[in-house]
Amino acid sequence: MNSKRNLDRDNLDFGNESIPELFRQLFFPTLIGMVFNALLTIIDGIFVGHGVGANGIAAVNIVAPLFMVVTGLGLMFGIGASVIASIRLANKEIKAANIILTQAFLVGISIVVIISIPCLLAPESVVRMLGSSDVLLSNTIDYLLWLLPGMVFLLIECVGMMLIRLDGSPRYAMWCNIVAATFNIALDYVLVFPLRMGVAGAALATSVSCALGGIMILVYFIGYSNTLKFYRLKASVTSMLLTLRNTWYMAKIGFATFLTEIAMSVMMLTGNYVFIGALGENGVAAFSIACYLFPVIFSMSNAVAQAAQPIISFNYGAGDMKRVSKSLNTSLTAALICGIIVTAIVAIGAKPIIYMFLSPASGAFAIACEGLPKFALCGIFFALNIAMIGYYQSLEQSVRATIFTLLRGIVFIVPLFLWLPHLLGTDGMWLAIPASELMTLIVIAFDFIASHHHKKVAVSS
């Protein structure tokens, strides 16, 4: 093979190589890449917090759900396409895998363009719907309008990450994230401080960084991919119907991941309303710190699920359930370790973390110091939940994955946000998210035990 085409390729053998070794080769590049990707949002918060102040950081948090919706769409199509393509590759159906890849990109881009139209035409209405107050209005509109140009590229990056790993190049996927995040750091500093563009500068830095990551993805599939490549789709009724069918199938498999991002948006929206109602703009700014950290918690947990996904899907497609089971055990062990590490870091290092975002003189600083260690409890439960949801997605059990995501992200979290503050005061606001994750984990554990007991009974009879 031409050395040019050997770009960071790891030549992974999903069907025969040791499961722990396969997982290691996928996990660490995925983890590093995803943490750097999460830095896109965190860096915005740090620079805006010190360059604009608490109102600036609150404004970014108001618009953040839009960023998360686009990320969710990208991950939905990326995971859906990766699961289907994994199974196709296990059955040597390379053309079908390439068609799936192409459809995932085209449909995802089309949806993001549609979402962007009302944001461009009526930005004030959009940010008010997201929970902006009059005080935050100017900053939220600026952040929204400068963020929009990068959203298509964010979609491309999220879809591409999954498929590049499946193509055997997890290190290239990692570098796409690292390069984009590094540029974001430099641009954030220049645009927020020397050029004094405020939240608009932070949003522009994010857009440019997303564009860079998206272009790197496109370059890979156009000139450097191994097996997976773009495929020219026919402009016929049959081709359009096939695209609709495959889009539905990809969305069905990946919907739980999209729902995870939507759930985080719901969490942020509900939390914004609860905190601003009880503690004003300082409350929202304090809650924003938790919202900035949540993508990092999600990235570590999702790295576990994404590293396990191609291994599980490939061996599921090949009918080797022993390797599937071993992959699940490896995934859960890694999730537990990551969850403990995240919880310990956030709980113990709460004050230094908050100091990165806010001045101690800010009224939001004390509120965040009091609440962040309580919020940190969600780390362990969240990591295990995401690992199990990813497992069910990899086995095409989309209904289970979707139900569990709905439980943790909407069904439990919204009532807990509204009820726990009445029971526990301000502590209840911070404990709503950990309580929701714990309740979901209990449900998942009971379901898993019950389903495996049923299978054993069925086999023995």
Per-residue pLDDT tens over the stretch 163-180: 998 888 888 988 888 898
**Position 9 confidence tier, pLDDT thresholds 50, 70, 90:** very low
Of 233 and 144, more confident: 144
Per-residue pLDDT tens over the stretch 177-211: 889 888 888 898 899 888 888 889 989 998 999 99
Q: According to the model, what pLDDT value does residue 270 have?
A: 83
Q: According to the model, what pLDDT value does residue 348 have?
A: 92
Contacts 24+ apart (CB under 8 A), 56-59: 56/139, 56/198, 56/199, 57/285, 57/288, 57/357, 57/358, 58/136, 58/281, 58/284, 58/285, 58/288, 59/132, 59/136, 59/139, 59/140, 59/142, 59/143, 59/199
- SS3 assignment for 187-214: HHHHHHCCCCCHHHHHHHHHHHHHHHHH
Q: What's the number of domains the chain is made of?
A: 1
Pair 391, 310: CB distance under 8 Å? no
Polymer length of the chain: 461
**Can you tell me the mean pLDDT for 420-428?**
89
460 falls within a domain:
no
**CA nearest neighbour of 26 among 201, 156, 164:** 164
Q: According to the model, what pLDDT value does residue 399 have?
A: 87
Q: pLDDT at residue 4 above 70?
A: no
353 falls within a domain:
yes
Q: Which domain holds residue 119?
A: 12-455
7 falls within a domain:
no
320 falls within a domain:
yes
Query: CB under 8 Å to 27, separation ≥6 — which residues?
Result: 303, 304, 307, 334
Per-residue pLDDT tens over the stretch 11-55: 667 777 889 988 988 888 888 877 776 766 677 677 887 788 778
Per-residue pLDDT tens over the stretch 334-381: 999 999 998 999 999 989 988 888 878 888 888 899 889 999 999 999
3 falls within a domain:
no
Query: CB under 8 Å to 25, separation ≥6 — which residues?
Result: 10, 12, 170
449 falls within a domain:
yes
99 falls within a domain:
yes
Summary mean pLDDT of the chain: 85
5 falls within a domain:
no
